[in-house]
Amino acid sequence: MNALIVYDSQFGNTERIAQCITATLREFGQARSARVGQIHPSEIQGMDMLILGCPTQGMRQTPAMQSFIAHIPRELLNGLSVACFDTRFPGGFWMLSAAPSMAKQLHMMGVELVVPPESFFVKSMTKEGPLLAGEMERAASWAQKLSEKIAVYPLAVKS
């Protein structure tokens, strides 16, 4: 497995989750993470798995993540396993967060996620965090389940 985790982070919470996911996935193959502004969508080429994560801002993904997704060449998404996560305050409606918004944008491009979008929670409504207790462990567990799912169902993109 060769995984790329692309994330956006404002206060460091999403970055911490992305790094935890990356470290966990390295137990199963190659994995690296990159901040959304420091990677070009073409770098997805050759990957087996793409994981996108960002904080929830205005009930959706950050503008940088939205732009990154929009600029991914569709041919690079063929045969690629994709998953999304966000960080947010635990209150409110599930559908009003970044990960489902990213999933919807990807769905419009013909991509079906291999697992439902996931949220990791911060303690404060100011979004500065810190992450709630146990969220790093939950991120590691999510990454492990994701790697197992990819091993069983390697293709997640519509024909």
pTM for this predicted structure: 0.91
Give the whole-angstrom CA distance, residue 159 versus residue 156: 9
Asked whether residue 157 is domain-assigned, the answer is: no
State both tokens at 9: 């982070």
CB 65 within 8 A of CB 100: no
CB 49 within 8 A of CB 150: yes
pLDDT at 157 > cutoff 60: no
Element (H, E) at 58: none
Asked whether residue 159 is domain-assigned, the answer is: no
Q: Please give the C-alpha separations between residue 64 and each of 36, 37, 107, 148, 157, in angstroms, as whole numbers.
A: 7, 7, 18, 30, 23
Which of 2-6, 55-59, 91-95, 152-156 has the lowest average pLDDT? 152-156
Residue 77 belongs to a domain with what CATH number?
A: 3.40.50.360
pLDDT at 50 > cutoff 70: yes
Asked whether residue 20 is domain-assigned, the answer is: yes
Angle between the N-to-C axes of helices 13-25 and 135-152, in degrees from 0 to 180, rounded to the nearest 10: 40
Give the model's confidence band at 159: pLDDT under 50 very low, under 70 low, under 90 confident, else very high.
very low
pLDDT at 58 > cutoff 90: no
For residue range 79-120, what is the model confidence (pLDDT) as tens digits? 899 999 999 988 765 557 999 999 999 999 999 999 999 999
Asked whether residue 10 is domain-assigned, the answer is: yes
DSSP string, 79-148: T-EEEEEEEE-S-S-TTSSHHHHHHHHHHHTTB--SS--EEEEBSSTTS---BPTTHHHHHHHHHHHHHH
Q: Which residue has the higher pLDDT, 77 or 91?
A: 77
Q: How many domains does the chain have?
A: 1
Range of the domain at 51: 2-152
Share of the chain above pLDDT 90, in %: 78
Q: How many residues in the chain?
A: 159
